[in-house]
Amino acid sequence: MAERTLGVVLYPGFELLDVFGPLEAFGNLPGMVSVTMVAAQAGPVVSAQGPRAVADHGFADAPRLDMILVPGGIGTRDVVEDRALVDWLAARSGAAEIVMSVCTGAALLARAGVLDGQRATTNKAFFQWVADQGPKVEWVRQARWVDAGKYVTSSGVSAGIDMALHVIARLAEHDLADKRAGRELAENLARMMEYQWHTDADVDPFAKVWGLA
C-alpha cells in the first residue's frame, strides 16, 4: 500500500484525545501512514487540558498532505475567527484525499466552506454552535461519525477513534481491493489498543442525551 502523509492541525486549546486517540491508531501503521503535526508556526502548542504538543511545521512550510485531521476543543471558539487557519484549511483540503474532523473541529471545516453541501456531524453537546458556523452543511443530528467520501466527520472526543479505525479499514480495503482485509486491519488495531470499536456509525447515544434524537 502506498504511504500517505497525515497532517494533524494544532491550535491553542485543542482537545488532547481528539488528536492522540486517532493517532494511537494511525501511528501504528508504519509504511501506510506517516504523521506530521502542523500549526500556525512550528513549535509547542498548548492543549485545552494543559499539556503541549509540538508542531513539526508551520502553515507556510507544511509538506504535501494526503490526509488532514482537524481536532476540536475549546480553542475552536477563538480560531473560527482566525482567517489564516481557515484559509489554509480551505486551500489544503482541496488537494487532500481525505479530510477528517473530530468534535468541534467540524466548525473549522465549515467556516472554510469545504463542507458546504456535504453531510457532516459533530459533538452533540455543542451541536447548534457548530451548525451555526456552516448553514449550507447538511448536519446530521444523530451519528457517531459521517463518511461523506472525501470528508469524514465524527461526534465528540472518543468518537474520533471510531472514525479513525473506520477510515483505516476503508483505506486498506481500497488499496488491497479486499474489504475483509481492511476490516481485519482495523479490528487488529482496536484489539491491540484494548479499545471496543463502535462499528455502526448510526449508533449515537449522546444525540439522545443532548436532545437531538
* Segment (H or E) for 163: helix 159-176
Closest by CA to 6, choosing from 98, 94, 135, is 98
Catalytic residue among 19, 33, 37, 103: 103
The dihedral built from the CA positions of residue 200, 157, 102 and 8, taken in this order, carries a sign that is negative
Q: How far apart are CA 20 and CA 8, in angstroms?
A: 10
Q: Would strands 57-58 and 4-9 be described as parallel, antiparallel, or unpaired?
A: unpaired
Cα separations (Å) of 61 from 27, 28, 37, 181?
A: 22, 25, 12, 36
Q: How far apart are CA 78 and CA 165, in angstroms?
A: 29
Q: Any idea which residue has 439522545 for its cell?
A: 208
Read off the amino acid at residue 67. M
Q: How far apart are CA 154 and CA 145, in angstroms?
A: 4
Read off the amino acid at residue 190. A
81 is an active site residue = no
Provide the annotated active-site residues: 103
